[in-house]
Homo-oligomer: A and B are copies of this chain.
Amino acid sequence: MALNPVISTLGRKLRLAVIGGGPGSFIGAMHRQSARLDDRYDIVTGILSSEPEKSKQAAGELGFASDRLYANVTEMLDAEASRTDGVDAVAIMTPNDSHYEYSMAALACGIDVICDKPMTNTIEEAASLHQKVQETGLVFCLTHNYTGYPMVRQAKAMVMHGELGTIRLIQVEYVQGGKADEEKVFSPENWKFDPVRGGPSRVMGDIGTHAHNLTRFITGLEVDEVAAEIGNIVPNRLIHDFAGALLRFDNGARGSFWVTQAAAGVENCLRIRVSGSKGTLEWMQ
């Protein structure tokens, strides 16, 4: 196998633009690092702030070429779409309420999209985006990154190959403590507590989506029925910070689902246990 299959195939690396992840962002550095890790991408441009000047400065600090310093997403997508060496894909890591708009815009320019979860803040936007992807035939990826762990893939393979027998019981939990502090409330600077920008059910968008995705990825089962409570356990919140559910899957399996960002002191505990007629597997991040 060639040392770099992308270069061997295309004669070059893929060209990537980023939207979001500027100064002060945790996830921005993660995204860019991950893009570099396997040597498949060159990150050649990006919009790193909603303020044009701040964005251009950050773009310069990342070493983007001077003819690729753009004021905003629209300008960037238009310019890149018209370059012969334009970007192949954009990676979107902005607040949740802009995922829909930027994804639609990129697809409209013929550019593939790597979008942070949650896909959108409403089911209507998700359906519309889904339709757009089908119409354009472009690639649209959600960063359900936990499916990339070798152990998670091994878990999926074990279920698929019948090593666990018929799946009967599934427990999944994602417990964090980042929103446990009562002092942490909505402010103009803190979009993570804003029910408009982050969506009202932050806990589901932030981590419930990972728990649900992990369950589906490993077991191949879909949830048929749900009994749930979703709300805020920390007082004076406008967003949800915990969700519990009892699940019935399409094959008759039963499940327990528990996610929260209000467990004081807990770092990042994602855990799944899948029991079948022949055995049980458990994975913990």
Residues of A within 8 A of B (CB): 2-4, 7-8, 12-13, 22-23, 32-33, 36-39, 48, 58, 61-63, 164-165, 168-169, 171, 173, 175, 177, 180, 182, 227-229, 231, 233-234, 242, 244-246, 248, 252-256, 258, 260, 262-266, 273, 275-280
Contacts and interface: CB of A to CB of B under 8 A. Distances in A.
Copies in the complex: 4
A58 B175 CA distance: 45
A244 B263 contact: no
Contacts of A248: 229
Contact of A266 (B12, B164, B275): B275
Nearest to A274: B263
B58 A3 contact: yes
Given A3-B23, A263-B280, 10 more contacts: A3-B48, A13-B63, A36-B39, A165-B264, A171-B175, A227-B227, A229-B248, A233-B252, A233-B254, A244-B255
Contacts of A3: 22-23, 48, 58, 61-62
A253 B233 contact: yes
Contacts of A275: 177, 180, 260, 262-266
